[in-house]
A and B are shown apart, each in its own frame.
Chain A
Amino acid sequence: MDCYTANWNPLGDSAFYRKYELYSMDWDLKEELKDCLVAAAPYGGPIALLRNCWRKEKAASMRPVLEIYSASGMPLASLLWKSGPVVALGWSAEEELLCVQEDGAVLVYGLHGDFRRHFSMGNEVLQNRVLDARIFHTEFGSGVAILTGAYRFTLSANVGDLKLRRMPEVPGLQSAPSCWTTLCHDRVTHILLAVGPDLYLLDHATCSTVTPAGLAPGVSSFLQMAVSFTYRYLALFTDTGYIWMGTASLKEKLCEFNCNIRAPPKQMVWCSRPRSKEKAVVVAWERRLMVVGNAPESIQFVLDEDSYLVPELDGVRIFSRSTHEFLHEVPVASEEIFKIASMAPGALLLEAQKEYEKESQKADEYLREIQELGQLVQAVQQCIEAAGHEHQPDMQKSLLRAASFGKCFLDRFPPDSFVRMCQDLRVLNAIRDYHIGIPLTYSQYKQLTIQVLLDRLVLRRLYPLAIQICEYLRLPEVQGVSRILAHWACYKVQQKDVSDEDVARAINQKLGDTPGVSYSDIAARAYGCGRTELAIKLLEYEPRSGEQVPLLLKMKRSKLALSKAIESGDTDLVFTVLLHLKNELNRGDFFMTLRNQPMALSLYRQFCKHQELDTLKDLYNQDDNHQELGSFHIRASYASEERIEGRVASLQTAADAFYKAKNEFAAKATEDQMRLLRLQRRLEDELGGHFLDLSLHDTVTTLILGGHNKRAEQLARDFRIPDKRLWWLKLAALANLEDWEELEKFSKSKKSPIGYLPFVEICMKQHNKYEAKKYASRVSPEQKVKALLLVGDVAQAADVAIEHRNETELSLVLSHCTGATDGATADKIQRARAQAQKK
């Protein structure tokens, strides 16, 4: 315990910095670090090395090797570099390796050295070459900035959505800037560059000169600049060995320091915790490391080997050939507890717990002391927090034990902070293991979130660990286990040496029907690897048939896609496939396919009805569907033909089709229609007036109304209008004309096939009681009562009804008897009824 703070170095009065070892590196480096392009991803990410053979003499003809290691030095990939000279390496936020070539091409590799894609930084670069490049991270993703041989900057703020921006020119710039960096402010990326004693700030449109506030005089050149992890602060190193630290806007100075070393540092990075008041930068030379902050003295370390600094959210990682260390400001909770002679509640609690384990009564004394001050809650919280910042599991445990011990003396201390810390530490310790090699600190882990961490494990193909973590943290399946299994499956399909059946079976065995797993996504991946058969096998496991369709189409399995689409019941999907098929197949095959799928066929027909009438006809033709073909031509005779000849021709085609369909009725009806049309045309020509498109009935009526009785009768004969209809028709027409004489003549022409009641009715409708009465006498006995009532002869109606002895008729008459006038009649009926009942 006494020596626990031995590696703590004070900077000024209030802050301590400590450096501890993360891993001892057992990577077998062939090259010196200083000969290599080095890129290490933040958040404990992987390290990429590429021997920089292009900077030196051209002599080195050997192709260099690109090597990728985990943070603990475990080799992840190694590949022979076959492309052009590389200027810079960098990792994107998705842990993809970006290699910026001299010709402006950027090659993107995965963590395992798998080539992903490439893009270019613009044509202008081709000529001028790339002098320097930086990969930087903003809230939108990862960006690339390059400096060309013409001393112009081009950048893209997000390589995922590539938009190149050429920055404005710096006036009068004749040589490369001595140093430069990207700044990110208000969602806009700027470039800050130093040329001699001047600093220029480039945004999208303008170039402006800036001066750091309170910069010491006598600076003739800036050798190095560093921007903090969050882009909030900036440090400048001048040729006078002077370091200026301030805000990124350069408008405010935080502190300055003169280190009296004029040699340009190899690297300079910020080292500060979020929300800490202390700001410090770490400056590295060949064999010297210096931590500089707001204090007259700096902390100095000696470097035994070539080292490389990796800025992190809350500190700096330093790795060399043999070790990997972490340098950071000691967090407040740890400082409180471990500071020598600290009387902070956490420190006392830790002490108390230790005494308790020794079964010493001192434990009680310490505890009492904390309790008297009422600081037990605070003590527990301090211990929990400090545990999070410790790297060594032993120390974590003793702090947590102390917290747990303290909790015993508290009522209602909410347990979740303690539980959560235990869980988080367990996860952190697991991933810090050198086999895994992700040395995240607690703050980094919280910033990164568990979801991203899981993604990174998946990216490293550490599926079992990821699943264990999900299960341990009890993450919901969809976010956790299923997602990882899906990723695993996507990796699995890329294993080319395993047969399709085995892969499909293995995947289905493991995944089953885990919720949230999309088999179609996995199949898409399989197809992407050129394994179509496997993709189809995998799609069979996809429960949502709608999901299968797009991929099947892509794989040109359109017919299968069609049946799947129909299965899904989603007509839109069916339609999508149909249009695909229509373009893919020739017309005959397309129609044949449709024929076997009635649902698709009716859908397509509906579309054709409105959009492609000719196709519709072809469809019917293809199917020998003469009935529909006939209907089609009839419709056409109304819709598209204006002239009578055209319409008749259309109808003739229809009639022929109906004959073929053995629908003689329709054929005859159509022929009749043709006849009628021609006749109507002739009538219009000869008599004038409007006849076209009237029904047969209306045509005859119109003729009678126009006084062309002869013609009407001729027509009736020609079209064999039944007698009944003719009588109804004439009756209505003559009544309409109020030609009572003709009507009477007509009624006497022969015995009416419709009886005489309609005559009575129609006369009454025209309010001609006189005529109506004429016919009432001729009405057949069973309708007589009704007729008499119609003409208003209630008394006679009653007589007839009584004569008929028909109960229904009697009540009918009775209901027509109104008040005083028919009183006698009503009595008569009642009497007749009574009599009938007696019998």
Chain B
Amino acid sequence: MAFPHRLDAPELPDFSMLKRLARDQLIYLLEQLPGKKDLFIEADLMSPLDRIANVSILKQHEVDKLYKVENKPALSSNEQLCFLVRPRIKNMRYIANLVNADKLAGRFRKYKVILTPQKFYACEMVLEEEGVYGDVSCDEWAFSLLPLDVDLLSMELPEFFRDYFLEGDQRWINTVAQALHLLSTLYGPFPNCYGIGRCAKMSYDLWRKLEEEEDSETKGRRPEIGHIFLLDRDMDFVTALCSQVVYEGLVDDTFRIKCGSVDFGPEVTSSDKSLKVLLNAEDKVFNEIRNEHFSNVFGFLSQKARNLQAQYDRRRGMDIKQMKNFVSQELKGLKQEHRLLSLHIGACESIMKKKTKQDFQELIKTEHALLEGFNIRESTSYIEEHIDRQVSPIESLRLMCLLSITENGLIPKDYRSLKTQYLQSYGPEHLLTFSNLRRAGLLTEQAPGDTLTAVENKVSKLVTDKAADTRWNLAQISSPGKITDAFSSLAKRSNFRAISKKLNLIPRVDGEYDLKVPRDMAYVFSGAYVPLSCRIIEQVLERRSWQGLDEVVRLLNCSEFAFTDMAKEDKASSESLRLILVVFLGGCTFSEISALRFLGREKGYRFIFLTTAITNSARLMEAMSEVKA
């Protein structure tokens, strides 16, 4: 059932080299402070660090104790302190305060600050303003790419999204350019580059500049990856805002996958302990279900359990020799598989329990209605009820944003009333959240003239009332009903609507969408919607350019670019020309990854993902939320 890779699928480059590079550099930096030292690590960096250098490696290089950087005085009594932090002003203040406290107490220690992925002048400025610049040494650990999986690289910079798309802060673009430069040094130049969005363009330009400055030896190198595709998150918020229903996405939505691993609580492990589980291609069970629609997963797992039992059962009727063989060779693998299987079954059950409780089917139905643009009134009251009942601040916000984006903004009346309701339910401080969302274009008010006429409204209601009731249960998630072409033309003059129509994002389906045998990328949203970002990638790759997509680009309101270097392309093998690196600036979701993996299998490509961070709807909303200090 899990789709095997096509036989002619190209081999992926080995990205473990990136880990080794980062580790060696870190060790070098630690060795610069010889002798015993205590290491202070920023909380966000702990998981990524663990993937690069575990505690025993740190100990080997004379790290004595590990502390978390938090707003508490440091208890360390060591004479040498090393800080491993992101280049944030907050952190620099923390360090400066610590140094100044030591000075007051007449204590002299050695301090070393390792900033990753790069130093910022502003940080050093803070140290200078606080009067400790001379007391600490600042170094840069250029650790910008963490391979989370064989085909997934993450920069682990969740703040990229807020910094760039909300605050307009461009400082991470340089980091992106550096990361791309590193990739092209290690894996050869990219013959074909495509991109969409302002940030993508800036990153690309800066990256090109870096390549030019270094009249490098890479020029003669054979390209290992044929294409690179850069895209800004803000060209497609819709996909990121949808509830995820492929297994990996659902696990992320439910349990939060952090840096490639997840903490399964007691309700999953069916013991009294939580368990940290790495989720990647090495987990054989997970690898088979990660891209599956959730409705298939349970069936698959029970089939797998039966097979496993059958394998165990082979023991009966074995003679001594066979038994010995079985124990020494197969048993361990079976046990491992058994363990993983029971974990994922536990996770599934837990997801089921949570989802049914929250009326998940109603939610999905509303989402699909929003995507298709029918029954807007009903969806709006659903959202209102959601808010009134205080179901979840993040979820309510997400639905409001989804409504706003698909409808090209809320009509003024709804805009005011939903916000008022929201403030009453979840607290007045969210006034700031709304200001942020408006700035980022996630929750806006319709410009006058964009509203539907009353007639249109009635017609669309007529159509959609007939839409089949869908349900969410274990057996299947059926696809929602479709509006006929004639009626959808009456839909709003919204850009999403127009784009959706142009790119055929809402597939027309006769009968049920068979989620077991997906026929297009829409399967990641139960057949209701093809992720916009992935569709764009598909279309551009098909054409090898943006030709014919002018209208879409105009509607997206983003600038696009494409460059092909024939000289490099001639050097590339046909295999490498089927490898595509997709760079998501501002984060990508597991649903998008699954959709593109599917596309790859269909077309014989293989996608590699580079993202500033893994994201989902909740993370996006949290990034925009203002919480009381």
Which residues of the other chain, A, contact B428 by a CB distance below 8 angstroms? Answer: 669-670, 672-673, 676, 695
Q: A544-B213, A570-B174, A695-B426 are in contact. Are A611 and B168 (CB under 8 A)?
A: no
The answer on a CB contact under 8 Å between B385 and A724 is yes
10 inter-chain pairs at a CB distance below 8 angstroms, sorted by A residue, are A569-B170, A579-B125, A599-B168, A602-B170, A606-B169, A610-B89, A719-B424, A722-B388, A725-B424, A754-B385
CA–CA, A610 to B126, complex, Å?
Answer: 10
Indicate whether A646 reaches chain B with its CB closer than 8 angstroms: no
Indicate whether B490 reaches chain A with its CB closer than 8 angstroms: no
Which residues of the other chain, B, contact A9 by a CB distance below 8 angstroms? Answer: none
CA–CA, A666 to B436, complex, Å?
Answer: 13
Which residues of the other chain, A, contact B468 by a CB distance below 8 angstroms? Answer: 808
Indicate whether B303 reaches chain A with its CB closer than 8 angstroms: no
Chain B interface mostly helix, strand, loop or mixed? helix
Q: Smallest CB-CB separation from A547: which chain B residue?
A: B213
Interface residues of chain A, those whose CB is within 8 Å of chain B, are 478, 515-516, 543-544, 568-572, 575-576, 579, 598-599, 602-603, 605-607, 610-611, 627, 631, 634-635, 638-639, 665-666, 669-670, 672-673, 676, 693-698, 719, 721-722, 724-725, 728-729, 732, 754, 808, 812, 815
Indicate whether B275 reaches chain A with its CB closer than 8 angstroms: no
The answer on a CB contact under 8 Å between B388 and A728 is yes
Which residues of the other chain, B, contact A572 by a CB distance below 8 angstroms? Answer: 119-122, 171, 174
Q: Smallest CB-CB separation from B390: which chain A residue?
A: A697
- Closest beta carbon of chain A to B123's beta carbon, Å: 10
Minimum-distance CB pairs A-B, first 5: A602-B168, A571-B171, A610-B89, A673-B428, A695-B427
- Residues of chain B in range 292-342 having any CB-CB distance to chain A below 8 Å: none
- Closest beta carbon of chain B to A629's beta carbon, Å: 12
Partner of B89, one of A605, A611, A669, A694: A611
The answer on a CB contact under 8 Å between A665 and B419 is yes
CA–CA, A516 to B473, complex, Å?
Answer: 66
- Closest beta carbon of chain A to B431's beta carbon, Å: 5
Indicate whether B545 reaches chain A with its CB closer than 8 angstroms: no
CA–CA, A805 to B270, complex, Å?
Answer: 44
CA–CA, A431 to B167, complex, Å?
Answer: 62
Interface residues of chain B, those whose CB is within 8 Å of chain A, are 89-90, 93, 119-122, 125-126, 129, 163, 167-171, 173-174, 177, 202, 205-206, 209, 212-213, 215, 384-385, 388-390, 416, 419-421, 423-429, 431-432, 435, 468-469, 471, 473, 626, 628-629
The answer on a CB contact under 8 Å between A569 and B173 is yes
The answer on a CB contact under 8 Å between A575 and B120 is yes
CA–CA, A665 to B422, complex, Å?
Answer: 13
- Closest beta carbon of chain A to B92's beta carbon, Å: 9
- Closest beta carbon of chain A to B389's beta carbon, Å: 5
- Closest beta carbon of chain A to B95's beta carbon, Å: 14
The answer on a CB contact under 8 Å between A665 and B435 is no
CA–CA, A670 to B167, complex, Å?
Answer: 23
Q: A544-B209, A638-B628 are in contact. Are A696 and B424 (CB under 8 A)?
A: yes
Which residues of the other chain, B, contact A478 by a CB distance below 8 angstroms? Answer: 215
Q: Smallest CB-CB separation from B168: which chain A residue?
A: A602
- Closest beta carbon of chain B to A318's beta carbon, Å: 47
- Closest beta carbon of chain A to B175's beta carbon, Å: 10
Q: A639-B629, A669-B420, A697-B390 are in contact. Are A610 and B169 (CB under 8 A)?
A: no
The answer on a CB contact under 8 Å between B122 and A815 is no
Which residues of the other chain, A, contact B206 by a CB distance below 8 angstroms? Answer: 569-570
The answer on a CB contact under 8 Å between A666 and B385 is no
Q: Smallest CB-CB separation from A699: which chain B residue?
A: B424
Which residues of the other chain, B, contact A516 by a CB distance below 8 angstroms? Answer: 215
Which residues of the other chain, A, contact B215 by a CB distance below 8 angstroms? Answer: 478, 515-516
Partner of B425, one of A605, A676, A695, A754: A695
- Closest beta carbon of chain A to B533's beta carbon, Å: 24
Q: Smallest CB-CB separation from A572: which chain B residue?
A: B121
Q: Smallest CB-CB separation from A700: which chain B residue?
A: B424
CA–CA, A634 to B427, complex, Å?
Answer: 13
- Closest beta carbon of chain B to A147's beta carbon, Å: 40
Q: Smallest CB-CB separation from A674: which chain B residue?
A: B428
CA–CA, A696 to B174, complex, Å?
Answer: 45
Partner of A611, one of B129, B416, B423, B427: B129
The answer on a CB contact under 8 Å between A576 and B121 is yes
The answer on a CB contact under 8 Å between A571 and B431 is no
Which residues of the other chain, B, contact A725 by a CB distance below 8 angstroms? Answer: 388, 421, 424-425
CA–CA, A634 to B390, complex, Å?
Answer: 24
Partner of B471, one of A598, A638, A695, A812: A812
Which residues of the other chain, B, contact A722 by a CB distance below 8 angstroms? Answer: 388, 421
- Closest beta carbon of chain A to B476's beta carbon, Å: 12
CA–CA, A698 to B206, complex, Å?
Answer: 50
CA–CA, A722 to B420, complex, Å?
Answer: 11
Partner of B167, one of A605, A676, A694: A605
The answer on a CB contact under 8 Å between B425 and A602 is no
Q: A478-B215, A610-B93 are in contact. Are A670 and B431 (CB under 8 A)?
A: yes
Partner of A666, one of B209, B213, B431: B431
The answer on a CB contact under 8 Å between B628 and A571 is no
Q: Smallest CB-CB separation from B384: which chain A residue?
A: A724
The answer on a CB contact under 8 Å between A634 and B431 is yes
CA–CA, A693 to B332, complex, Å?
Answer: 56
Which residues of the other chain, A, contact B629 by a CB distance below 8 angstroms? Answer: 638-639
CA–CA, A721 to B212, complex, Å?
Answer: 63
Which residues of the other chain, B, contact A544 by a CB distance below 8 angstroms? Answer: 209, 213
CA–CA, A575 to B174, complex, Å?
Answer: 14
The answer on a CB contact under 8 Å between A693 and B427 is yes
CA–CA, A611 to B122, complex, Å?
Answer: 10
- Closest beta carbon of chain B to A197's beta carbon, Å: 51
Partner of A697, one of B177, B425, B435: B425
The answer on a CB contact under 8 Å between A569 and B174 is yes
Which residues of the other chain, A, contact B122 by a CB distance below 8 angstroms? Answer: 572, 575, 607
Which residues of the other chain, A, contact B213 by a CB distance below 8 angstroms? Answer: 544
Q: Smallest CB-CB separation from A668: which chain B residue?
A: B420
CA–CA, A815 to B174, complex, Å?
Answer: 56
Query: 6 more A-B contacts (CB under 8 A) besides A610-B93, A631-B432, A695-B423?
Result: A516-B215, A611-B89, A666-B431, A669-B419, A676-B428, A697-B424
Partner of A603, one of B129, B169, B429: B169
- Closest beta carbon of chain B to A42's beta carbon, Å: 35
Partner of A627, one of B93, B170, B425, B435: B435
The answer on a CB contact under 8 Å between A693 and B628 is yes
